[in-house]
Structure 1
Amino acid sequence: MPGITESLLDGVLSVLPDVRALPLPHVLLLLLLLLLLPLLLLLYRASSGGGAGIGGLPGPKPMYPLIGSALLMPSDMTEILNVLMGWSKEFQGCFHLKLGSDYVIINTPEAAEVVLSSNQHIQKGEEYDGLKPWLGDGLLISAGSKWHKRRKMLTPAFHFSILDQFMTAFNEQSKVLVSKLRETNGQRTDVFPYITKATLDIICEATMGVQIKAQQGARSDYVRAVYRMGEISFFRFLKPWLRSDFLFRRTSLYQSQQECLKLLHGFTDSVIQSRREELSKSKDASETPQTSPQGRKRLALLDLLLASTIDGRPLSDADIREEVDTFMFEGHDTTSAGANWTLYNLGRHPGIQQRAFEEVRDVLGDDDRPVTREDLSRLQYLEMVIKESLRLFPPVPMIGRRLNSDVVIDGCSVPQRCRIGLLVYAIHRDPRHWPDPDTFDPERFSPEASRGRHPFSYVPFSAGPRNCIGQKFALMEEKVLIATVLRNFKITSHDKREDIKLRADVILRLEGGLWLSFAPRH
């Protein structure tokens, strides 16, 4: 075999001096061979042992050089979690998977702690690269000093004293949601679009200070563009050959991505420009970011970004856009998924739903007053319900990281070149920490049951130094949304767990819709 590649190379080189004398078809063939030579050499080296797996860790045997087991990953997005969970059970813990790059799939809390608790391994994995055209180097994707500086700058925007000002938006948009659900007249309804539009209205108002009225039918194009960008990003990760920009730009997916980016970036740019002009007209230069000349509460994020400096320099519009887009993506899509799955579980378990409703009624009373911050701290059982839903259906089913040095995982030395996939969906089902893991039981999160549990057995918002900066915002929003729906409707789920198909892309969704019915309580 070594002689074949070397002979091919010698043969091509031998004709180079006489290339001008060759017919055009032969010249084109020669150029093609020259382009293919690097690939042929890599294939040879890989087939000769260069693509060996990670010593000591089990895993599916790579089918082909370079791309490894990529062809074992189903094109049907509803089968991906089933395949990964099957391998987790087959190989009894963490395993090695070759998808172009070498991956170690982590599915135990103990192994997750090694990576998530580290201040060294905080760089996101290459599966996030597909989001860069949209989110740039925002807080989700950035690394190193840029991430540290941005995180420090943005942390004050998520202090409880700042989050309190969003309670009005939570309540107002939750009431709009209730009015829309009433229009379903108790009929079987796909609730996912309803919740998605409600969370989009909330995050637009909280992040950018604009009301896009998605629940009234506006900006449905924005919602579709957000979904499409997530799908394209995840598909590129699963198919290693599409990670090449050269190949990707020659597909219909690239054209679809460009159309989405034009819409998404255009909307954000227009809001930033409008806000800059508004601030420049303000007569009170000493005005704080939290109040306006009219006494209106200002949003924390966009105003904070416009007023911030890093190393003495103000942020550019491009800097601001990547952070605003990041929070638009993370702040509405993940929260929407969490709220949807909570409603689904409440509809599947009438006894649990009744107990949660009674708590809401006891705390809020029978009138229609807004939910307050003080109320949220008293809705303890509802919080347990939400947390158990996030355990069973984590909005982000897998987290990717890049190692910055060799590390020992499950007793095996994993080299720096490897990528890490933290399979949150499996970590949340580890039977050593979650007995009868597929059963919905909010009591798992009672103070008594939670005591002594492994801190990395529950990571819906990641954990460690790179945990989700907006998790308090998300839990507050979900509590208000769910409490408002519960006090108005009795919820029924129409699909059994074994009948639904989970669609694992960037966010955990449900194939074919989430069908519930909402019967008015009064």
Structure 2
Amino acid sequence: MKNCKKMVSNHSCYVSESTTDEETGDMEYAPNSRQNKLPRKPTRTPKCFSKNALMARENRLKKKMYITTLESQVASLSADNKKMTQLHQNQSVLVKELKNEVKYLKSVLGNSEHIGKLIRAINFSTGIPIKSSIDRRASPSSRDAVNKSPIAQKIVPNGELPQEIRPETACVGYDFTRHPWDETEKLSQNNINFPTPESTSSYYDNSDIDELKKSLLLDIDVPSNMDVFFDDIIQEDLLEVPEKSSSSGTSADLTINLQEEEDVGMNFAYYCAEVFCILALFLAKYLWRKSRKCAAEGLQGPKRLPLLGNALTVWCKDEDIFENLVECFSKYPSPMRFDIFQQLFIIFREPAQVEKIFSTSALTAKDDIYKFIKYFDGEGLISGSGAKWKKDKRLLSPLFLKRNIVQYFGVMLNHAQILAGILEQEADRPAFDIQHYLHRAVADIVNETIIGVQTNAQCGELDDFLSCIGRGYQLVHERMVKPWLQVEFIFRLTPKYKELTQTRQVLRQVKKSHSHLGPKEIACRTILEQMLDIRDEVPDFSTDEELIHHMTTFYSASEDTATSICSFALVMMGMYPEYQKRVVEEMHSVIGCEELREEHLQRLDELQMVLKETLRLFPIAPLLLRKVSQNIEIDGFNIPAGTSLVVSIQNIHRDPRFWAKPNDFYPEHFLPEAVKKRHPYAYLPFSAGARGCIGKPYAYMIMKTLLVTILRKYSVEAVGSLQDKPITADISVRFKDHSYAVRIMKRV
């Protein structure tokens, strides 16, 4: 045990820091001694060993991180060095190019005949603004102020880089000892002597120099960081320098600031490239549209003017555009061609041809002109196209089926009864505009059933919003029919752009602010709530922004359609009281004294015929446009991809081949026997095919509920006839005078 203790005490790791060298030397340790040797027990690693190992490891990691940091810094500095080297090389090349150009200018300016031409070229050809800064300062040290010999002068571009003109050689140059790029380079001097006054008679006879004297056009701005080598002859007789009084009055220094605002050569190259690209695009578009024209050479149409085509047809007052188009389309057989500024439209008004168009999958894409509606309403079912539109329509169509919208009848009836009560103030009084009241009632119905918000529009709380929407429709239509407003940068320069932007913001803000209230305020399941349910089941159905687009589309389509058709129907029944009498008698026989119910609406055939005849005369969308996505053939006419097709619903609805009295209000057009004789695509109030309106049952329910409620309480009168009320169109058809004046009387 003693030997073991002695062995441990002799180990260097266990020697105390206070142990002296003498004490260590007196210790004896015999490793080969076998005296009293005991079996060795397992020992733990001393704590000092583990601490030292950890410290060593930490030091190695720190060194490694430090080395890595240094390497990254070295790499970064190396990359920066390469960039600086490349920049220096580029600057050297630029310096050489500028020197060559300035040498050329020096040679030109050395000839007096070229000076005036060069100045005029700078002013009138390149368009560089001219500013002259010539200051004559008195200096008692000048030697040549009295006589007209060369004087000591200094030329300082931008007042930074010093230059000097030596009287002995009249040489102008920089002091390159202060040059920022090369401090060792020296300027080679060019010996060019100033001409004497006697030898400058040719200058005074030169018209270019005389013009230069009058206008003082010497005004070139040169950046201070530009390497300039410029020799010039400056003669006091050639430049009229205003004298400034001084104490001596005998000498002067001449300082000229030369500034060049931009590199003319580079800018000219850029301009040429831009002009070339624009011309190339216009040429490509022109050739593409010309190929469309060649495909339509066999079609009849109005005479085309060069470049304008048939644009003069729409070059008129806004309210006359629609009438001019319909009249033009009726003069030629279907299909016909119509051109506006190289844009080809093929017009169809034959039901058999229209049926093929609406049943062809290659013709479901909306025309590019609908992008203006998309800007206002968003990309909903009206303006959308492609796979996204197909998916959205498949998911949203069930929301407007009859079995689903029946739940909204109570809301519609409630607001219709409120409207009937409000109209009592107009009863037995002079004629008034019925559309104003209908617009408010429809807005309340649509907001409550689609969004779930009770807006109280009939109390006047949405008047500003409704007038804003109406103005938005007009602005969108104006862009659609006026080609010069379809150019974006031109439209942005007009006041209409700001007005349309404000209108769009108001519409979106109102819809977005109410969108979260949908499921909370009414008992029935709103359209918004059902769309949210669809999104829960189909996560990629729509984003929040796309939901707002759908709501805006549903609102604008439903509100405008129901308001317009109800207004037209009441005016027509006021003008033609015999049909109003038939409708009222049918209502008495079907409803009697009972409260109106939804099933009653299905049995009112006379009212149904009145509404259909109203939609025939005043279709919701009088012109439908499609974009051909692939080459197709219709009745022997080959139509290439990219062509715009127009289906003129207005012309079809007033074609005497299909309608006994095309320009009269005649509901008998929709008797069962008359319908059987007519082509099914001769009547298209809600379009047809894949792009048919999904809100048709919803719109019919609103219109019937409002009309029945009004006619049960009031009789309607209107002055004049249909021929006295010409129509126009924006997004939908309107009376040209925008007046829906009727007079109502209480029924006994």
Query: For this structure pair, what is the TM-score category when the shorter chain's length is used for normalisation?
Result: 0.7 to 0.9
Please say if 1:329 is aligned against 2:556.
yes
The one-letter code sitting in structure 2 at the alignment partner of 1:338 is I
Question: Aligned residue for 1:88?
Answer: 329
Please say if 1:499 is aligned against 2:736.
no
Question: Aligned residue for 1:210?
Answer: 453
Match of 1:267 among 510, 519, 523: 510
The one-letter code sitting in structure 2 at the alignment partner of 1:150 is D
Please say if 1:400 is aligned against 2:628.
no
Question: Structure 1 residue 358: deviation in Å?
Answer: 0.4
Cα distance in 1, alignment partners of residues 541 and 643 from structure 2: 37
Question: Aligned residue for 1:306?
Answer: 532
Q: Which runs of 5+ in 1 are unaligned?
A: 1-17, 279-291
SS at match of 1:313: coil
Question: Aligned residue for 2:380?
Answer: 138
SS at match of 2:362: coil
Please say if 1:346 is aligned against 2:576.
no
Query: Pairwise mapping of residues 189-204 of structure 1 onto structure 2 (< 5 A)?
Result: 189-204=432-447
Cα gap change, 1:43 to 1:209, in 2 (>3 Å): same
For residues 192-234 of structure 1, give each alpha carbon's deviation from its aligned partner in whole angstroms, at most 9, with x where no partner exists. Answer: 2222222111111111011112221111122122212211111
The more displaced of 26-35 and 375-384 is 26-35
Question: Aligned residue for 1:10?
Answer: none
Question: Structure 1 residue 323: deviation in Å?
Answer: 0.4
Question: Aligned residue for 1:171?
Answer: 413
Please say if 1:459 is aligned against 2:684.
yes
Question: Structure 1 residue 311: deviation in Å?
Answer: 5.2
Cα distance in 1, alignment partners of residues 567 and 315 from structure 2: 26
Question: Aligned residue for 1:68?
Answer: 309
Indicate conservation of the 8 Å contact 2:660/2:669, yes or no.
no
Q: CA RMSD in A?
A: 2.8
Please say if 1:355 is aligned against 2:570.
no
SS at match of 1:456: helix
Question: Aligned residue for 2:668?
Answer: 443
Cα distance in 2, alignment partners of residues 51 and 152 from structure 1: 34
Cα gap change, 1:56 to 1:275, in 2 (>3 Å): same
Indicate conservation of the 8 Å contact 1:134/1:325, yes or no.
no
Indicate conservation of the 8 Å contact 1:108/1:426, yes or no.
no
Question: Structure 1 residue 467: deviation in Å?
Answer: 0.3
Cα distance in 2, alignment partners of residues 32 and 347 from structure 1: 65
Cα distance in 2, alignment partners of residues 460 and 447 from structure 1: 18
Please say if 1:517 is aligned against 2:621.
no
Match of 2:318 among 49, 63, 77: 77
Question: Aligned residue for 1:121?
Answer: 363
SS at match of 2:426: coil
Indicate conservation of the 8 Å contact 1:70/1:238, yes or no.
no
Match of 2:657 among 419, 432, 444: 432
Question: Aligned residue for 2:644?
Answer: 419
The one-letter code sitting in structure 2 at the alignment partner of 1:81 is F
Please say if 1:227 is aligned against 2:331.
no
SS at match of 1:167: helix
Question: Structure 1 residue 112: deviation in Å?
Answer: 1.2
Cα distance in 2, alignment partners of residues 328 and 188 from structure 1: 29
Question: Structure 1 residue 161: deviation in Å?
Answer: 2.1
Question: Structure 1 residue 32: deviation in Å?
Answer: 7.6
For residues 248-279 of structure 1, give each alpha carbon's deviation from its aligned partner in whole angstroms, at most 9, with x where no partner exists. Answer: 22221110011111110101111123448x5x
Question: Structure 1 residue 147: deviation in Å?
Answer: 0.9
Question: Structure 1 residue 119: deviation in Å?
Answer: 2.5
Indicate conservation of the 8 Å contact 1:129/1:233, yes or no.
no
The more displaced of 344-353 and 488-497 is 488-497
Indicate conservation of the 8 Å contact 1:94/1:410, yes or no.
no
Q: Which runs of 5+ in 2 are unaligned?
A: 1-120, 131-263
Question: Structure 1 residue 478: deviation in Å?
Answer: 1.0
Identity %: 28
Cα distance in 1, alignment partners of residues 292 and 629 from structure 2: 21
Cα distance in 1, alignment partners of residues 541 and 327 from structure 2: 50
Please say if 1:320 is aligned against 2:547.
yes
For residues 181-201 of structure 1, give each alpha carbon's deviation from its aligned partner in whole angstroms, at most 9, with x where no partner exists. Answer: 221133211122222222111
SS at match of 2:338: strand
Cα distance in 2, alignment partners of residues 184 and 30 from structure 1: 72
Question: Structure 1 residue 30: deviation in Å?
Answer: 9.3
Cα gap change, 1:62 to 1:34, in 2 (>3 Å): farther
The more displaced of 408-417 and 168-177 is 408-417
Match of 1:479 among 683, 698, 704: 704
Query: How does the TM-score come out when normalised to structure 2?
Result: 0.61
Question: Aligned residue for 1:157?
Answer: 399
Cα gap change, 1:45 to 1:381, in 2 (>3 Å): closer
Cα gap change, 1:394 to 1:510, in 2 (>3 Å): same
Question: Structure 1 residue 388: deviation in Å?
Answer: 0.9
Q: How many pairs are equivalent?
A: 485
Cα distance in 1, alignment partners of residues 301 and 378 from structure 2: 34
Cα distance in 1, alignment partners of residues 538 and 705 from structure 2: 38
Cα distance in 1, alignment partners of residues 270 and 745 from structure 2: 69
The more displaced of 56-65 and 259-268 is 56-65
- Higher relative CO (Cα under 8 Å, sequence separation at least 6) belongs to 1
Cα distance in 1, alignment partners of residues 421 and 318 from structure 2: 33
Cα gap change, 1:75 to 1:197, in 2 (>3 Å): farther
Cα distance in 2, alignment partners of residues 392 and 30 from structure 1: 59
Question: Structure 1 residue 381: deviation in Å?
Answer: 1.2
Cα distance in 2, alignment partners of residues 91 and 59 from structure 1: 6
Cα distance in 2, alignment partners of residues 232 and 207 from structure 1: 25
The more displaced of 252-261 and 21-30 is 21-30
Cα distance in 2, alignment partners of residues 406 and 334 from structure 1: 34
Cα gap change, 1:90 to 1:170, in 2 (>3 Å): same
Cα gap change, 1:312 to 1:56, in 2 (>3 Å): same
